[in-house]
Amino acid sequence: MDAIRLDLEGLAARVPDEAKIALPPDYSYCAMALVRAIIARGVKGLHIIGVPALGFQADQLIGAGCVATVETAAVTLGEFGLAPRFGAAIKSASIRMLDGTCPAIHAGLQAAEKGVPFMPLRGVIGSDLEKRRDDWIVADNPFEESDPILMVKAIQPDFAVFHAPLADRYGNVWVGVRRELMLMAHAAKSSLVTAEKIVEGNLLDDPVRAAGTIPGLYVGALAEAENGAWPLGIPGGYDADAAELARYVEMARTEEGFADYMAGNSKEAAE
């Protein structure tokens, strides 16, 4: 079955207000161009989930006022420091924050992937994270005496939103070892994917490729986007544009600077 192929705007148009979307961390394959298109649409009230942490994508979505809820183990810009628009939103309490921990997010997605209501996980007991989450419960291990264990409620995003080096006309998407993208795609109701290149053949025909490929079954629609992760990089492809990321961090310190950055950015995209 041929995949639904759209342009970036068409893909962004599939994200309604208040959608729950899963996003990868900066060191994975981030669909930055698609995120800019979502911002340009003026989507509101998103619930964004970091798998397991968030970075530049989240900071820009939050700064642009697209986000109501952030569920993640962290928001970090790595060597570029704290995420400025995220920090400002937290201090003004303009977003709802669900602080989590990496493996609990993976566990919640794994529960959704299997279609079960929760997943048990070791650790976490006694942390303030656990005390502040009503979708986590400490219960007894049914197989042992006196063994409390955390139960993480399944996390089912409406969409997994990510980039990939390669996809084909059937919507098969190659992610290689970046299998958090596969987990996201399995758990979400649907995935919106951009790829550096969409080829005419079938990626599943090559057994070496197939092992790292998400089948088109999980992919709602895709768009070709060369340099679609820019200014982030893609591992094994191109490096992050450090000068551009530094320029963002500098400008995004203030609300006005952030607005100027995003305005310049969309102008550049239009040209």
The residues of the shown chain that bind another protein, judged by CB under 8 A, are 25, 27-28, 51-53, 72-76, 78-79, 82-83, 86-87, 90-91, 93, 99-104, 106, 110, 121-130, 132, 146-149, 177-183, 235-236, 242
For residue 61, the minimal CB distance to another protein (Å) is 16
For residue 194, the minimal CB distance to another protein (Å) is 19
For residue 98, the minimal CB distance to another protein (Å) is 10
Alpha-carbon torsion angle 124, 127, 133, 135, nearest 10: 20
Number of Cβ atoms within 10 Å of the Cβ of 235: 14
For residue 5, the minimal CB distance to another protein (Å) is 26
User: Which residue number, 36 or 186, has a Cβ lying nearer to another protein?
Assistant: 186
- Spacing of C-alpha 227 from chain mean position: 17
- Write the CB contacts of 169 (distance below 8 Å, at least 6 apart in sequence): 2, 3, 5, 198, 199, 200, 201, 202
Q: Give 3's DSSP letter.
A: P
Place of tokens 């942390």: 127
At residue 261, what are phi and psi to the nearest 5 degrees?
-60, -50
User: Which residue number, 146 or 271, has a Cβ lying nearer to another protein?
Assistant: 146
User: Which residue number, 28 or 172, has a Cβ lying nearer to another protein?
Assistant: 28
What tokens does 237 get?
Answer: 């492809």
For residue 211, the minimal CB distance to another protein (Å) is 9
Q: Sign of torsion, CA 103 105 108 114?
A: negative
For residue 93, the minimal CB distance to another protein (Å) is 6
User: Which residue number, 24 or 228, has a Cβ lying nearer to another protein?
Assistant: 24
For residue 179, the minimal CB distance to another protein (Å) is 3
Q: How far apart are CA 155 and CA 112, in angstroms?
A: 6
What tokens does 230 get?
Answer: 């820019």
Alpha-carbon torsion angle 161, 165, 171, 175, nearest 10: -70
User: Which residue number, 27 or 118, has a Cβ lying nearer to another protein?
Assistant: 27
User: Which residue number, 201 or 236, has a Cβ lying nearer to another protein?
Assistant: 236
Q: Which amino acid, 31?
A: A
User: Which residue number, 211 or 263, has a Cβ lying nearer to another protein?
Assistant: 211
For residue 129, the minimal CB distance to another protein (Å) is 5
Q: How far apart are CA 259 and CA 256, in angstroms?
A: 5
> 100-112 b/e with 16+ CB inside 10 Å = b?
bbbbbbbbbbbbb
User: Which residue number, 31 or 223, has a Cβ lying nearer to another protein?
Assistant: 31
Q: How far apart are CA 241 and CA 232, in angstroms?
A: 6
